[in-house]
Amino acid sequence: MDSNPIKVMPTPVDLTAEDFRKIGTDEKEAEVIQRESISAWRDAWQRLRSNKLAMTALIILGLITLTAIIAPWLIGKIYGYNYYSNDLLYTNKAPSSTHWFGTDDLGRDMFIRTWMGARISLIVGLAAACIDLLIGVIYGGIMGYFGGRVDEIMNKFSEILYSIPYLLVTILLLVVMEPSLGTIILALTITGWINMSWIVRGEIMQLKNREYVLASRSMGAGHGRLLFRHLLPNAVGPIIVTVTLSVPNAIFAEAFLSFLGLGVQAPVASLGSMISDALTGWLYYPWRMLFPAILISLTMLSFNIFGDGLRDALDPKLKK
Decide if residue 284 touches another protein (CB under 8 A).
Answer: yes
Q: Which stretch binds another protein (CB under 8 A): 26-34, 62-70, 120-128, 139-147?
A: 139-147
Bridge partners (DSSP) listed for residue 92: none
Decide if residue 91 touches another protein (CB under 8 A).
Answer: yes
Residue of 172, 177, 215, 229 interacting with another protein (CB under 8 A): 172
Q: What is the Cα–Cα distance from 153 to 45, expressed in whole angstroms?
A: 38
- Total site size for another protein, rule CB under 8 A: 101
Residue of 89, 97, 219, 224 interacting with another protein (CB under 8 A): 89
Decide if residue 280 touches another protein (CB under 8 A).
Answer: yes
Residue of 122, 245, 250, 313 interacting with another protein (CB under 8 A): 245
Decide if residue 283 touches another protein (CB under 8 A).
Answer: yes
Decide if residue 202 touches another protein (CB under 8 A).
Answer: yes
Decide if residue 237 touches another protein (CB under 8 A).
Answer: yes
Q: Supply angle C-alpha 246, 319, 244, rounded to 5.
A: 5
Q: DSSP for the chain, please give it.
A: ----S---SPPSS---GGG-----S-HHHHHS-GGGGS-HHHHHHHHHHT-HHHHHHHHHHHHHHHHHHHHHHHHHHHH---SS---TTS-SPPP-SSSTT-B-TT--BHHHHHHHHHHHHHHHHHHHHHHHHHHHHHHHHHHHHH-HHHHHHHHHHHHHHHHS-HHHHHHHHHHHS--SHHHHHHHHHHHHHHHHHHHHHHHHHHHTTSHHHHHHHHTT--HHHIIIIIIHHHTHHHHHHHHHHHHHHHHHHHHHHHHTT-SSPTTS--HHHHHHHHGGGTTT-HHHHHHHHHHHHHHHHHHHHHHHHHHHHH-GGG--
Q: Which stretch binds another protein (CB under 8 A): 36-44, 61-69, 113-121, 238-246?
A: 238-246
Q: Which stretch binds another protein (CB under 8 A): 32-40, 109-117, 127-135, 196-204?
A: 196-204
Q: How many CB atoms lie within 10 A of CB 320?
A: 11
Decide if residue 19 touches another protein (CB under 8 A).
Answer: no
Nearer to another protein by C-beta: 106 or 181?
Answer: 106
Nearer to another protein by C-beta: 32 or 320?
Answer: 320
Decide if residue 238 touches another protein (CB under 8 A).
Answer: yes
Decide if residue 132 touches another protein (CB under 8 A).
Answer: no
Residue of 45, 69, 86, 190 interacting with another protein (CB under 8 A): 86
Q: x/- string (CB under 8 A) for another protein, residues 254-273?
A: -xx--xxxx--xxx----x-
Decide if residue 138 touches another protein (CB under 8 A).
Answer: no
Nearer to another protein by C-beta: 40 or 260?
Answer: 260
Decide if residue 294 touches another protein (CB under 8 A).
Answer: yes
Q: Which stretch binds another protein (CB under 8 A): 29-37, 73-81, 128-136, 151-159?
A: 151-159
Q: Which of residues 35-54 bind another protein (CB under 8 A)?
A: 51-53
HSE-up of residue 141 (Cα within 13 Å, Cβ side): 21
Decide if residue 65 touches another protein (CB under 8 A).
Answer: no
